[in-house]
Structure 1
Amino acid sequence: MSPHRFLGFGFAAADLLLEIGDDGKVTFALGAGESVLGAPDRALAGRTWQSLFDVDDHPMVEAMFRGLDDGARAGPVVLKVAGDEERSANLTAIRLPQNKGAISCALSKAAQRGAAGLQSREDFEARAAELLAGATQELELAFVDVVGLSQQKAGSPDAARVDALLAGALRAQAYRGEAATEVGPDRYALVRAADEPAAALISRISRVLSDVGLEKIAPTSAAMPLTGSVRPKQVAQALRFALNQVLREGLKKPLPSSLSNALEQALQSTLSNAGALGAAIRQRRFSLAYQPVVNLSDGALHHHEVLVRFGAQGSPFPTIRMAEELDLIEPLDVAVLEETLKVLASDPTLTLAVNVSGRSVMSEAYVSRVVDLLRKSPSIKGRLMFELTESAAVEDLGLADRHIQALRAAGCEVCLDDFGAGAASLAYLQQLTLDLLKIDGRYIRDLQHGGREATFVKHLVNMCGELKVRTLAEMVETPEAEEAVRKAGVHYAQGWLYGRATEKPTPTLDAAVGRRFREGALSIRTAHDRQAPWG
């Protein structure tokens, strides 16, 4: 072995050493290939790196390799081994100038990696707390603001690839390659090692964006050290405070100086917010917005989802999360329900769906209140629907199902929101008797490109068909996405393609929607003919 190879492999203890040429193929392999990748080292030469690792990890490895300057090191990150659900590997990489562009990689066996791609806010907070508890080095919570990304991406011929590579670049910089999330539009967060300069993070993300033709974007970053004396159960609360601050204000305001400082600020904010939010709920200082849901069989308006808005903020997420944490979500759900019933009473043509937290569904007082209100307003029967959100709060599925059946007996259909994300899993579909299931938007966004998302959605629709549960796709934003969910046999769709949330329910849809459905009527019928009859 040449001296520069010894130098390249000397940067980390490893079970397996690989050298990847500039054509993406393994030019050299030495070590326990069978143990790490399931193939002897002598069989690895000539294979592409893509054939070694799970396809979900390809964007991360690609971003990782693209961001390596001569002498620079990246990793370790945890990857799933291709074709083996049980096997994962740690990967660390370095590019040495003597290697003529080749990348030296050190691999070792690893515990199974977490979820691929960007995590949901909820999953990120939980996973970040777990990683911090077991970390062997100092970590930081880093934020990246990519101003202008959405605007430039809109003009890109392959926006999905941009999203995948950016997610890969963030994961490549994250601790173990798995703790990264989207905080808000064009804003991201990740847990990373504190020893690498922020400039390196920005440089690598800028390079990936430039490689896909987005050269006029200048990312910025800031970080909060994950230090300070904080009990394990309080870590997520401190992280959430920092994430919410960046969601509201971007990187204009200085971040907390440590986890303990973030927790202190969070507790002070909680005391202040509890009183303010309680007053806002009692005094109805919120507004309702309405987003249309269409029937994919004919393009007609089916119902509107009712969304709550506080002030001029773009997203209600922080306030709703606050209500959950301060045990105010049930009063908020009741207040939104009462305002929705007034709207239904004023217009007999409307059908509206209100969100209800899993915490409220578990409450006998909430369900009794709903049944009592509907008994007093018989004209509303059959026109009120419920979307079950924050299903992680449903600790007793048997009790939840009994309460759901009480709502259904009162004339309301019940939909499980965000299926495929967070806690909404097959156990809920198995143990709760539901009318509709809303498929999480991350599957819909990539459905048109085929692959795992398409397989997941098609199997889910078929399974729901057997259970006589209708399906609703969210985040349908393009005609191509609409065609994909239609072919998959999904019943209803919601998203910007049909209109954003408005201050008043729209009586009809845009004429272009109806025209599109008339043109696609044959494919609609064909898709639904494949589904079992509903009976």
Structure 2
Amino acid sequence: MSDVDPAPLYILSFRQRDELAALAANAGWQVVAARRAAGAARRFLASGSAVAVIDARGALSDGLAAAASLDGAVGSNGGAMLVLVSRGDIEAIARFYDAGATHFLASPFSEAEFVQALRFAHRHAARMAGDWRATAPADPLGWRLDLSSGTMQLTPAFARLLDLAEETSPRAILRRLDAAERRAAFLALRRLATRTATAFAHDIEGLGRIVQHLQYDPATRRIDALVEPLGSAPDSAVAMRDALAGGRDAGGARRWIERRLATAEPLAVVLVALNRFEVVNTAYGRAAGDALLRGAHRRIEQAAAETLEKGALVTRMGGSEFLVATDQPRARIDLAVERIVGALAKPFVVGDSIAVLGCRIGMAARGEGDEAASLLRRASEALADARASDSATLRVADAGEEEAPIDRLAAELGPAIDHGEIDILFQPQVAMGSGAIVGVEALARWEHATLGTIGADLLFAAAARADLEIALSDHIQRIVLERAAAWPRILSGLRLSLNLTAGDIARPGFADLFLDRVDTSGFPRTRLTLEITESGLIEDLNIAATLLTTFRSAGCRIAIDDFGTGYSSLAYLKSLPLDYLKIDKKLAQDITGTVRDRVVVRGVIDMARSLGLSVIAEGVETEEQLELLAKEGCQYYQGFLCSGAISSDALVALMKAN
């Protein structure tokens, strides 16, 4: 028997399970052994193991697939993966490493060599997943400045030294410098306009003379600063990953979670795993895979930023698995999850091809006595359940008796439709040249008795969960058309914009059904604009083009909505019969950002107009945005600068006052 403390060990061996299990058991391990890869991640997590052994001898392809499937579960929980390979397959070690393996052993090997390899893997896991606050290297002193948002984030150690919050303003740091040192800081920052790295020195209380090494990343428009005594500095961008909440390594994420768990605040962690990533990585190579992961990270960050308050952590945990951690209420987290699912369902450009991946998600909320390791393990178990499911995208650990808001909405949506609780509001669309209201977009709302106002995004997310997307879409279309057909004379000149969903476009015979619905309502086809989004088109562009051509021939106009949020927009502009291009809210609001932002918006407007399309900007909220968009050639806008979504009666009053 070994002198190691008894510890669980997960072994997956396709041909020699019993032999390996006996060797490990004789060495003192509590072995959970399997011969089939099905459910490997779930079994590994359930075993409580910190070490997974993948025996790929004589089963190389099965071993690689198993390693890839376990990567997220092992990496997220700070574990180790020991892979056994045949001597003739040593060249495959690099592929196993890319798939998440941490240790390797080539046959033939002795019992002593196998046990020693287990011990080293266990020691690695102990360092990675033990007490992260105690075993992690000291936090570096430094900061990150995001030039796009003007926000600054300090490493925990630097924040403690300066007695400042981790999230602060550049002005708070500059106030700590005297006039001469402040000038040196400004000059260093100015130098970053022509170079990516520079430095400046100054005195700081508690450290004496120090140097701040600055690195600028033009792609993210971030400046990373590493603060240390005068001398050579490591790559500051790499060093900062371990310390900042936005860092991209699993250890830094666990330390972030541990700090939050030390408070009494609520906390939930969401693990997001990409589907079919290994297929893309193998087919197109590691460079393409890395680019895809960066793209996925950006989409997750954007979805989280749109739905969660400031302070949420978004990071990559390892392999193709990402973490979102937040203290926000459950309903907001559910909306964030739906946005993430939608964002990752859109296609990725890989070389000259397009790849559609999708994702699986596991979620867990903090429980009494939780540490980072236990909280992440429960989220990993939920993720493993989601991956094992044929249809479920999301699994929630320890949901208990509290029903998730999205599940509650899904359960109550059917009766709400039947009882007429889903209402319609209209947001005006305004001609920039005259200021006249020329049209409206119909938007669905549900005034829930306890959860408050439920907007279209969450409403359709609940419909998807309840498999009621078609029923909800039919219901909304009928209400919108009947209500608009009954408008008084003052509204009789307005165009009506109505959204079509992906489910609508995919329905056989939808064109005839919908046009019959329009004619039955009495609303003129020629005043109807049908809006489609990229997510509603991606499955089959040819089918969408045929359907939209039918509608256009019938007198309707077609608009592409939320332009600028997707990744294949140009293909849509070339292939679809369009009349309007609607610029996404975030892109439209970027008009008041940097010169670069404005150039992008100008390019979109110029491109649309050169194709004969009218341009509608969404989300316009300020006179400055309106003026700049008008100067660039945008013809119409909608947004709170004119009005939010309002009832028909309020719309009549607004038209009278306009």
Please give the range of the TM-score, normalised by the shorter of the 2 chains. Answer: 0.5 to 0.7
1:285 alignment partner in structure 2: 421
**Aligned 1:310-389 pairs, distance under 5 A:** 310-312=446-448, 313-316=452-455, 317-347=457-487, 348-376=492-520, 379-389=523-533
- Structure having the higher Rg: 2
Q: Indicate the residue corresponding to 1:105 in structure 2.
A: none
CA deviations 1:430-475 (Å, max 9, x no partner) are 2222111111111222312333321111111111112112111111
Are positions 1:120 and 2:259 aligned together?
A: no
Q: What root-mean-square deviation, in Å, do the aligned CA atoms of Structure 1 and Structure 2 show?
A: 5.3
Map residues 231-310 of structure 1 onto 2, 5 A cutoff: 231=384, 233=386, 259-262=396-399, 270=407, 274=410, 276-310=412-446
State the partner residue of 2:559: 415
The residue number in structure 1 matching 2:358 is none
Q: Is residue 2:249 matched to residue 1:74?
A: no
Structure 2 CA distance, aligned partners of 1:314 and 1:511?
Answer: 27
Separation of aligned partners in 1, 2:422 and 2:529: 20
- The verdict on how the C-alpha distance between 1:263 and 1:298 changes in structure 2, with shifts beyond 3 A counting, is farther
Which is further off, 352-361 or 398-407? 352-361
1:150 is aligned to none
- State the identity as a percent: 24
CA distance in 1, matches of 2:584, 2:438: 19
Equivalent-residue separation in structure 1 for 2:226 and 2:377 (angstroms): 24
Deviations 1:383-435 (A, max 9, x none): 22222146256300110111111222222112111111146622222222211
| Alpha-carbon spacing, 1:50–1:506, altered in 2? closer, same or farther (3 Å) | farther
Please list every run of 5 or more consecutive structure 1 residues that lacks an aligned counterpart in the other structure.
1-9, 14-18, 28-37, 66-70, 80-89, 93-108, 146-190, 199-221, 242-258, 515-535
Q: Cα–Cα, structure 1 residues 453 and 326, in superposed 2: closer, same or farther, change >3 Å?
A: farther
Deviation at 1:230, TM superposition (A): 2.9
Q: Tell me, yes or no, if the aligned pair for 1:301 and 1:508 is still in contact at 8 Å.
A: no
| CA distance in structure 2 between the aligned counterparts of 1:121 and 1:76, rounded to whole angstroms | 14
Deviation at residue 273 of structure 1 after TM alignment? 5.0
Q: 1:476 & 1:46 partners in 2: Cα distance?
A: 42
Q: Offset at 1:131?
A: 4.0
Q: Please list every run of 5 or more consecutive structure 2 residues that lacks an aligned counterpart in the other structure.
A: 1-136, 141-157, 159-172, 174-180, 189-193, 202-211, 229-239, 254-286, 330-362
Shift of 1:72: 12
1:54 alignment partner in structure 2: 218
Tell me how far apart the structure 1 counterparts of residues 622 and 225 of structure 2 sit (CA, whole Å): 28
TM-score for both structures, normalised by structure 1: 0.55
* 2:339 match: none
Residue identity opposite 1:231 in structure 2:
A
Once the two structures are overlaid, the 10-residue window that deviates more, 296-305 or 406-415, is 406-415
1: CA distance, partners of 2:566 / 2:303: 7
Q: Deviations over 1:210-240 (max 9, x none)?
A: xxxxxxxxxxxx9996342433755999997
Alpha-carbon separation, structure 1, partners of 2:227 and 2:400: 33
Output the CA distance in 1 between the equivalents of 2:499 and 2:472: 10
- Match of 1:446? 590
Q: Tell me which residue corresponds to 1:526.
A: none
- Structure 2 partner of 1:519: none
Using the alignment, how far apart are the partners of 2:227 and 2:442 within structure 1? 42
Cα 1:385–1:135 change in 2 (3 A) is closer
Could you say if the C-alpha distance between residues 144 and 278 of structure 1 is closer, same or farther in structure 2, counting changes exceeding 3 Å?
A: closer
Conservation of the 8 A alpha-carbon contact between 2:314 and 2:324:
no
Matched, 1:491 2:635: yes
Aligned residues: 367
Match of 2:327 among 143, 148, 162: 143
Contact 1:474–1:495, Cα closer than 8 Å, also in 2: yes
Higher relative contact order (CA 8 A, sep 6+): 1
- What TM-score does the superposition give when structure 2 sets the normalisation length? 0.46
> Counterparts of 2:516 and 2:226 in 1: how far apart (Å)?
56
Deviations 1:44-94 (A, max 9, x none): 5569977621263428x58999xxxxx997148569xxxxxxxxxx999xx
Counterpart of 1:56, as a letter, is T
Equivalent of 1:228 in 378, 381, 393: 381
Kindly state the Cα deviation for residue 349 of structure 1 after the two structures are TM-superposed.
Answer: 3.5
Aligned position for 1:176: none
The residue that corresponds to 2:336 in the other structure is: none
Contact 1:471 1:491 (8 Å CA) reproduced: yes
Shift of 1:260: 2.7
Whole-Å separation in 2 of the counterparts to 1:511 and 1:357? 33
Question: Are the counterparts in 2 of residues 25 and 49 from structure 1 also a CA contact under 8 Å?
Answer: no
Q: Decide whether aligned partners of structure 1 residues 50 and 344 sit closer, same or farther in structure 2, where only a CA change above 3 A counts.
A: farther
Matches within 5 A, 1:184-223: none
CA 1:473/1:318 → structure 2, altered by over 3 Å: closer, same or farther?
A: same
> Residue deviations 1:264-288, cap 9 Å, x none?
9779974x65553223224432111
SS in 1 for 2:217: coil
SS at match of 2:421: coil
